[in-house]
Structure 1
Amino acid sequence: MSTLIIGASSKPDRYAYEAARRLLAIGETVYPLGYRAGKTAGELDILTSIPADLAVDSITLYLRPELQEEYFEQIVALAPKRIIFNPGTENPAFQQRLQAALPQAEIMAACTLVLINLDQY
C-alpha cells in the first residue's frame, strides 16, 4: 500500500512528520509532498511536486483548507481509493468536490495517527 502525504514536514514535532514515521513503521510506502524540499521521517526526501507516474492508494492531508484547492486536479488524476482530511484540514466544500469527481473514493475526516493506532489504516 502507498500513501501520499500532502503537507509533509521536515520538523519532527509536526503531525505530518509523525504520520510519515508511523506509516513507514507499518510497512506503507510513503511519498511526502511539501512546499519546501528537505527530509522527513525515515530520511525520505520531501517532494515539491507530484511525479507524473505516481500511483497511490491513499492521500492524507496536513494542509490548511485555503491551500488545498491548488491540488484538486492532481488529486483527481491520482484517483486514490481513500482521502483523509486530518484534524484542522476539514474542508466540506472541497471534500464534496472531490467526492463528485471521485465517486469510488472513500473521503473521510479522520486522524491518520489514530487510524494507525487502531489498526484501521
Structure 2
Amino acid sequence: MKKTLIVGATPNPSRYAYLAANKLVAHGHEIINVGIKSGEVAGQPIEKPEKIHTDIDTITMYVGAANQPDLYDYILKTNPKRIIFNPGSENPELEELALEKGIATEEACTLVLLSTNAY
C-alpha cells in the first residue's frame, strides 16, 4: 500500500480532502494528515506542516496554488515518489520544482483514482 500525505487535511466532512482520507484508509493505505485545521480525520490527527516524513509514497494536494508557496520546502523535503494535484490545486511552478527533484507529478483526482483502482 502507498503511504499518503494529505496536504490540506480538514475535519470538515463536506470537503474532498476529508472524503479522500477516509477512502484511502478504506482501501488500506496509511495516511498522514497535514493542514491548518485542528482535529483528526479517518482516525489520524491533523499535523501542522512541520515534521518531515521521509517514508511517503504519495502527496495528494488539496490546497490551492496561491496558498502553496509556503509549503514548497516542506513538500520537497518530504521527497515523495509522486504528487497528485487534485482539481483546484494544479500548480505548474511546484510541478516543475518537483520534477527537477525526480518527483513524479500527476494532475488527477485521488477519489477517482481510488474508485477505478488506478491509485
TM-score bucket (shorter structure): over 0.9
Larger displacement relative to structure 2 (21-30 or 46-55): 46-55
CA RMSD in angstroms, aligned pairs only? 1.3
Structure 2: 5+ residue runs without aligned partners?
A: none
**Percent identity over the alignment?**
36
Distance 1:56 1:14, change over 3 A: same
Partner of 1:110: 108
1:3 aligns with 2:1: no
Give me the whole-angstrom Cα distance separating, in 1, the residues matched to 2:78 and 2:11: 24
Larger displacement relative to structure 2 (22-31 or 68-77): 68-77
Distance 1:118 1:50, change over 3 A: farther
Partner of 2:92: 92
Using the TM superposition, give the Cα deviation of residue 59 of structure 1 relative to its aligned residue in structure 2, in angstroms: 0.1
Question: TM-score, structure 1 length as denominator?
Answer: 0.91
Question: TM-score, structure 2 length as denominator?
Answer: 0.92
Matched-pair contact (CA < 8 Å) for 2:52–2:77 = no
Partner of 2:71: 71
Matched-pair contact (CA < 8 Å) for 2:86–2:107 = yes
User: How many aligned positions are there?
Assistant: 118
Partner of 1:13: 14
Matched-pair contact (CA < 8 Å) for 1:72–1:98 = no
Q: Deviations over 1:2-35 (max 9, x none)?
A: 0000000101110000000000001100001010
Give me the whole-angstrom Cα distance separating, in 1, the residues matched to 2:79 and 2:49: 17
Give me the whole-angstrom Cα distance separating, in 2, the residues matched to 1:112 and 1:31: 15
Give me the whole-angstrom Cα distance separating, in 2, the residues matched to 1:90 and 1:116: 19
Give me the whole-angstrom Cα distance separating, in 1, the residues matched to 2:67 and 2:76: 16
Provide the secondary structure at the position in 2 that maps to 1:4: strand
Deviating beyond 4 angstroms after TM superposition, the runs of 4 or more aligned structure 1 residues are none
The residue correspondences of 1:53-68 to structure 2 (distance < 5 A) are 53-68=53-68
* Letter aligned with residue 35 of structure 1: I
